[in-house]
Amino acid sequence: MIGKRQEYERMHATEQSLWWYQSLHRRVGRAIEKRFGEQKNIRVLDAGCGTGGLLESLRKRGYTELQGLDASEDAVAFTRQRGFQVQHHNLLHIASFQPGETFDVIVCDDVLCYLSEEQIVKVLTEFRRKLRPGGIFISNNNAFNWLGGTHAAALNIHRRFVLSDLKTYAQQVGLRIRQGGYWSLVLFPPIALVRSWQNFQLSRGWVKTENLNSDVALPAAPINHTLNGLMKLEELILPLAPLGSSVFTVMDSPHD
């Protein structure tokens, strides 16, 4: 148990500091503010909350009605210890999560990549049903299959997405994309180069998949600070781009 606690502390520290998470959390926060303005008592659900990094970010922004769910009992226990209302729950059974309860905002970041086509449609359908009138669904996902590299192999990520995929899912379940596009454009060339080289190594059998670790790690502080600064600049100039390593969408119900 001590080992697990230390591992989740490490994961949480990375999520709090890494430039990529910092940028994602800012994007989620701004999307919520764009829809709800200064309202801080709206009900927010983080579906797949992990160690609670996004919940932490939203709490710092002043939001008070925060809930989360995750399939990992250890992650849930760790997040509860920091005062968050989170439950151990499998996303595939989202229909049974707090029956009859609805939310103003549902966030599901980098989770759909583990689901099949059928499961994605099922989960998104239930998310739509759990949205209050005027509510929004926010989702960030890995972009472009060819950007998988050792990161995808290490984490057993089944799929990556393009914006048209999300548009198709939205249409199937009765949601509408209000905002959609890619991000990390400024870092896309080096990311693409590294992942392409990794894919080449994997295809040649030079790297054994059973020995892989994700390449997402916290770099030295000066480098992390610089990358975070570049992301802030991109967020200011081009919040969503035609190209990037992640695809970000904000959806609502066209019937509200």
Report the CATH number at residue 10: 3.40.50.150
What pLDDT does residue 201 have?
A: 84
**What is the tally of structural domains in the chain?**
1
Measured in degrees and rounded to the nearest 5, phi and psi for residue 240 equal -130, 135
- 62 close to 29: Cβ distance less than 8 angstroms: no
What pLDDT does residue 22 have?
A: 96
Residue 40 is assigned to a structural domain of this protein: yes
Residue 228 is assigned to a structural domain of this protein: no
Residue 196 is assigned to a structural domain of this protein: no
Residue 25 is assigned to a structural domain of this protein: yes
Q: Kindly provide the residue ranges of all beta strands, DSSP E only, lying in the chain, ordered along the sequence.
A: 43-47, 65-70, 85-88, 103-107, 131-142, 176-183, 246-252
User: Is residue 90 very low, low, confident or very high in pLDDT (cuts 50, 70, 90)?
Assistant: very high
Residue 209 has pLDDT above 90, yes or no: no
Q: Crossing angle, helix 19-36 and helix 2-17, to 10 degrees?
A: 70
Residue 117 is assigned to a structural domain of this protein: yes
Per-residue pLDDT, averaged over 64-80, amounts to 92
Region for 32 from its dihedrals, namely left if φ exceeds 0, alpha if ψ lies in -120 to 50, beta otherwise: alpha
32 is written with which tokens? Answer: 């919520």
Residue 87 is assigned to a structural domain of this protein: yes
DSSP secondary structure code for residue 1 in this structure: -
Question: What long-range pairs does 63-72 form, CB within 8 A, spacing at least 24?
Answer: 63/32, 64/40, 65/41, 67/43, 67/103, 69/45, 69/94, 69/97
What pLDDT does residue 178 have?
A: 96
Q: Which domain holds residue 35?
A: 2-145+161-185+240-252
Residue 50 is assigned to a structural domain of this protein: yes
Q: What is the pTM of this model?
A: 0.92
Residue 192 is assigned to a structural domain of this protein: no
The average confidence (pLDDT) of the chain is 90
pLDDT tens-digit profile of 129-146? 999 999 999 999 999 989
